[in-house]
Amino acid sequence: MTAVQLSVTIITFNEEKNIERCINSVKELADEVLVVDSYSTDRTKAICQKLRVRFLEHKFEGHIQQKNYAIDQAKYDYILALDADEALTAELFRSIQQVKQHWKYDAYRFNRLTSYCGKWIRHCGWYPDTKLRLWNRNQGRWGGENPHDSVKIAEGATTHDLHGDLLHYSFPSIQDHADTANRFSEIASDEAVRKNRKVNILVHVILNPVFTFVKKYFFQLGFLDGYYGFIVCVLSAYSNFLKYSKIYSKRREASSPALI
């Protein structure tokens, strides 16, 4: 197949600390860089305008909805979707460059390596964190369950793995991780209640967080990541505790008769 033209899509909200690094990692690769912003109040828009990318503003209705809006607005069918706190390594850049020249499959996957408080996490179930982010949009769209979205490709579509890591600059501080766990658990619990998902206190609220920590710290070798590996495992367990506790509480509130 001949060379293809590539649209890189990025969604943002108050990403002034990350967006320039993300754009700079792909600007020599992309035929279009499209940023869809949900009305940031920081310097995100100014930075994007300085870097001369295509910049659209759109009301945020959910991660899946916003990312699908972005791919629908893209000029080209071939999409590389990134989060604002991500960037390509040189090796992954070269891999995608080669794919652009000889596109053979419907979609491509690659591993993501996460930086946590400045340390690269290689265990805890966080690596290899394989992502499908490069694909022909006629063969797939964003799906899953907010806030944990992923690209769902059509049945029978072909995929291939690429060399090189996608770098994820996730949490600059433990506080930031804890705040994100609280925010994401709120979104996930609302989604679960909407879908009438039931929760058992013993299984989900008590045992699930314990099992999550044991699995990540011991079986997925989180202890090899040292102090921050321990923190990652604890907060991963805490995140599940928050999610299931909130689901249980919201279902109880919804089923309780209103007080007069």
Same-domain pairing of 180 and 145 = no
Burial tier of 102 (Cβ tally within 10 Å: 0-12, 13-18, 19+): exposed
Q: Given this model, what pLDDT does residue 257 score? A: 56
Provide the pLDDT confidence category of residue 25 given band limits of 50, 70 and 90. very high
In this structure, is residue 233 part of a structural domain? yes
Burial tier of 182 (Cβ tally within 10 Å: 0-12, 13-18, 19+): middle
Q: ∠ at Cα 57 (54, 15), nearest 5°?
A: 80
Same-domain pairing of 164 and 185 = no
Same-domain pairing of 98 and 163 = yes
Task: Decide which of 171, 191, 225 is a domain's last residue.
Answer: 171
In this structure, is residue 1 part of a structural domain? no
Same-domain pairing of 199 and 151 = no
Same-domain pairing of 222 and 247 = yes
CATH code for the domain of 20 = 3.90.550.10
Task: Decide which of 171, 205, 233 is a domain's last residue.
Answer: 171
Same-domain pairing of 101 and 147 = yes
Span 72-85, pLDDT tens digits? 999 999 999 999 99
Task: Decide which of 171, 199, 222 is a domain's last residue.
Answer: 171
In this structure, is residue 119 part of a structural domain? yes
In this structure, is residue 197 part of a structural domain? yes
147 or 1, which is more confident: 147
In this structure, is residue 123 part of a structural domain? yes
Q: Given this model, what pLDDT does residue 259 score? A: 46
Provide the pLDDT confidence category of residue 255 given band limits of 50, 70 and 90. confident
Average pLDDT on 127-152 reads 95
Please give the Cα distance from 66 to 80 (Å, whole number).
Answer: 15
Same-domain pairing of 162 and 92 = yes
Q: What is the mean pLDDT of the chain?
A: 96
Same-domain pairing of 12 and 112 = yes
Span 151-174, pLDDT tens digits? 999 999 999 999 999 999 999 999
Same-domain pairing of 27 and 71 = yes
In this structure, is residue 56 part of a structural domain? yes
2 or 192, which is more confident: 192
In this structure, is residue 238 part of a structural domain? yes
Q: Given this model, what pLDDT does residue 1 score? A: 60
Same-domain pairing of 121 and 166 = yes
Give the global pTM.
Answer: 0.92
Q: State percent of the chain over pLDDT 70.
A: 98
Q: Given this model, what pLDDT does residue 260 score? A: 40
In this structure, is residue 226 part of a structural domain? yes
Q: Given this model, what pLDDT does residue 254 score? A: 82
Same-domain pairing of 48 and 111 = yes
Whether 38 and 14 have beta carbons less than 8 Å apart is answered as no
Provide the domain count of the chain.
Answer: 2
Average pLDDT on 27-38 reads 98
Average pLDDT on 194-219 reads 96
Same-domain pairing of 59 and 143 = yes
Range of the domain at 76: 6-171
On the question of pLDDT at 258 being above 70, the answer is no
